[in-house]
Structure 1
Amino acid sequence: MNTAADVDQIKANWPGGILILEEKISFTKEVSIMVTKTAQGDLVTWPIAENVHQNHILKTSTVPATITPDLDQTIQAIAKTLADELDLRGVLGIELFVNEESNQVWVNELAPRPHNSGHYTIEACNVSQFEGHIRSIVGLPIPAITLVGPALMANLLGDELLTARQAFINHPAWHFHDYGKADVKPGRKMGHITVVGEEAQADLEEFLAGLQ
């Protein structure tokens, strides 16, 4: 609800059942962090990703996120608190809204599994979120996570996959993931592309701009 008129409309068409009232917040960007714990209780996090959505579907994740050191520390602390309170094993994806001007953070979603916004870790980190997930569950140690270089992951939605298949041969820096789904549907995640390094990132951004 944005205006008094919206309140009047709700009152005039009051729905039945249980309602949940949520405060409307002002945030500047959405980020996410993947976290797990080893069998020995050591906390492991992957670099924070900055996410952009298209029609409420994740479109891109850029790593590292362009946030202040204070916000980075706050998010790391949130990840540690959640991992400790849940006695976490396996990977947990945490989506957050941040407001850089007010230095505020809100947790938006918890995903108790490897998460789409963490797919960049397959190529951009020494240990992927998937390997970290299994290592945590079976009790294997997890080395400190390192980022190979700045990365960009882009989801291929609907028939974007078909365009990307044709373009792939001309983009040697692409790490192209085709999910092999039988039906191509608008807005459906059909695959993703990850690139590592600033030059490759600029190349992928140019391709994505051409899809619009």
Structure 2
Amino acid sequence: AAQAYAKLPQGTALLHITGDRLNEKQFLHDHGIPVTSFAPVTDLQSLNYALNRVGTPAILKTAAGGYDGHGQTDLDTAVVTKAASALLTQPCILEARQKFRTEVSMMVTRSAAGVVTTFPLVENQHQHHILHTTIAPANVQPSVHSAARKIAVSIAESLELRGVLGIEFFVLPDDTLLVNELAPRPHNSGHYTIEACNISQFEAHIRSICGLPIPAITQTSPAVMRNLLGDDLTVARQQLVEHPEWHFHDY
């Protein structure tokens, strides 16, 4: 409907895909992108079927909504918990829970001419399901960087992406990758690009949707991004004067 009232270079298809976890997982699976095992869930009967198909441990998530750990619960066994039953008032997805070595992410963009460009792969550390620290570049094997870049390009081309897209991965113990989630926007883990890359994720987004050329993206210095919440904001403001190498963004 939005397309009828305004010109949106990036379109609305990406929001339709990423606004529903089941749509997103199915899109990735259909395009040969590695993802964890999953199954749709609409009620208790389909949850039991999904548990038999996906196995445990697993994570039950609402298909829409939910963020930073909200709208999901762990299932360590096939016994349906009260927390799981409470989620079944809306469509859900059951995903196999993975044992992974680390979490990484990559921002990717695509020009109006169809040229895909990636930012460096970064390593993410979470606390209570919220991004805490991003290390750029990621401390993983070169093969992991290459594999992530190949997957990112494939996703961007499949989506005919305009703008920027964040891709979150699990790095498994054997250094293979699974795509965990897509973020159809500038992403917290990409904020380091403001100071540490030749162009930021925000400039890349604007260049893409405005039809401007996007240069090859390079990281000009190593960087660490710390996500500040609550009391951390106050402490950071107090210490900022003592750390000229810090860059503070309050938004």
Q: Which residue of 2 aligns with 1:141?
A: 213
Q: Which amino acid in 1 is paired with 2:225? A: M
Q: Does 1:10 align with 2:83?
A: no
Match of 1:21 among 70, 94, 97: 94
Deviations 1:38-90 (A, max 9, x none): 11111111011100001111011001101112211111111011100100000
Q: CA deviation at 1:19?
A: 5.1
1:63 maps onto 2:172 in alignment:
no
Give the deviation of 1:6 after TM superposition: 5.2
- The residue type equivalent to 1:21 in the other structure is L
Residue from 41, 51, 65 that aligns with 2:114:
41
Answering whether residue 52 of structure 2 is matched by residue 52 of structure 1, we say: no
TM-score normalised per structure 1: 0.77
SS at match of 2:249: strand
Q: How well do the aligned residues superpose, as a CA RMSD in angstroms? A: 2.2
- Cα offset, 1:104, TM superposition: 1.8
Q: Distance in 2 between matches of 1:48 and 1:13?
A: 35
Counterparts of 1:1-212 in structure 2, within 5 Å, are 2=57, 7=77, 9-10=79-80, 15=85, 20-99=93-172, 101-179=173-251
**Cα separation, 1, equivalents of 2:154 and 2:227:** 30
User: 3-state SS of the aligned residue for 2:178?
Assistant: strand
One-letter identity of the residue aligned with 2:178 = W
Residue identity (%): 55
DSSP-derived class of the 1:71 partner: helix
Q: Distance in 1 between matches of 2:250 and 2:84?
A: 46
The letter for the 2-side match of 1:7 is T
Name stretches of at least 5 consecutive residues in structure 2 with no aligned partner.
1-55, 58-74
Secondary structure at the counterpart of residue 91 of structure 1: strand
Unaligned runs of 5+ in 1: 180-212
CA distance in 2, matches of 1:141, 1:14: 47
1: distance between equivalents of 2:183 and 2:82? 37
CA shift at 1:8, angstroms?
Answer: 5.9
Shift of 1:11: 7.8
Alignment partner of 2:94: what SS?
coil
The separation in 2 between residues aligned to 1:13 and 1:148, in whole angstroms, is 46
TM-score, structure 2 normalization? 0.66
How far the C-alpha of 1:20 sits from its partner, in A, is 3.0
Cα 1:138–1:14 shift into 2, 3 Å: closer
Shift in Å at residue 142 of structure 1? 1.1
Which segments of structure 1 move beyond 6 Å, counting only runs of 4 or more?
Answer: 11-14
1: CA distance between counterparts of 2:165 and 2:197?
Answer: 17
Q: How many residues align?
A: 177
Q: CA deviation at 1:140?
A: 0.6
Residues 14 and 69 of structure 1: is their aligned pair in 2 closer, same or farther, counting only changes over 3 Å?
A: closer
Q: For 1:132 and 1:154, how far apart are their aligned partners in 2? A: 22
